[in-house]
Structure 1
Amino acid sequence: MSITRLDPGPRMSKAVIHGDTVYLAGQVGEPGSDLAGQTREALASVDAILAEAGSDKSKILQVIVWLADMADFAAMNAIYDAWIDPANPPARACGEAKLATPDYKVEFIVTAAK
């Protein structure tokens, strides 16, 4: 099977396509924005990358959500629940983690089918 890398860099690619599976790098919003802004920006990035890869959110298989503070769980879910395709909800996990910089509040790691 072929492997296609979208925007490969020295450390990572924006996404990797292997066969009919698309693996996205972790998506974050603008550092320093509030949680709502970062959530919306990150999910918009997911939409754009999936479209570039020939997929969309109806084909998402799994989402892993990292929150800098689990106290933001309900606020993140309010935006996520309005964004996700309700007819095709993916498997999902959510946990608290120290993200790459304290300016990040949420990160989404997505795997989708083409």
Structure 2
Amino acid sequence: MNPIHRAGTTPRYSDSTTHNGVVYCVEVPPDDSAAIAEQTRAMLASLETLLEQAGSGKERLLMATLYLTDMADYDVVNAVWDAWVPAGTAPSRACVQVVRLAKPGWRVEIAVQAALRD
């Protein structure tokens, strides 16, 4: 049987969930008043910590889905993303525009899946 492990669990969500060799994480901006580049940098830093704590890392990303409230932010988000992802390890990725996110100041949200280290 493959157990499910949850970390940072609240009544509504877990910071990360691992199952069958894969970790699942979602990050939102910690500061909803920050500019898009800072929102993205802060989320990626937090995501990196979550991945490491789960026994994975950004170089082990399998899939990422980015949700933007405005596609005008696409180039800025990509610049931050490209600087964060180690060369040669880019995951499959989708980027979609949404009408809004859960908090009015959030301009980006990221969901990822990554392989655990052996």
**Is structure 2 residue 81 aligned with structure 1 residue 80?**
yes
Gaps of at least 5 residues in structure 2 are: none
Q: How does 1:3-18 map to 2 (within 5 A)?
A: 3-18=4-19
Contact 1:32–1:103 (Cα < 8 Å) also in 2: yes
TM-score, length basis structure 1: 0.96
Question: Structure 1: which 5+ runs fail to align?
Answer: none
After superposition, the CA RMSD in angstroms is 0.9
| TM-score (norm: length of structure 2) | 0.92
The aligned residue for residue 104 of structure 1 is 106
Residue 55, structure 1, aligned to residue 56, structure 2: yes
Residue of structure 2 equivalent to 1:40: 41
**Counterpart contact for 2:29–2:106, Cα < 8 Å:** yes
CA distance in 2, matches of 1:29, 1:93: 22
The residue that corresponds to 2:21 in the other structure is: 20
Aligned residue-pair number: 114
1: CA distance, partners of 2:7 / 2:112: 14
Residue 104 of structure 1 deviates from its aligned partner by 0.4
Q: Which ranges of 4 or more aligned residues in structure 1 deviate by more than 4 Å? A: none
1:69 maps to a residue whose letter is: D
Identity %: 38
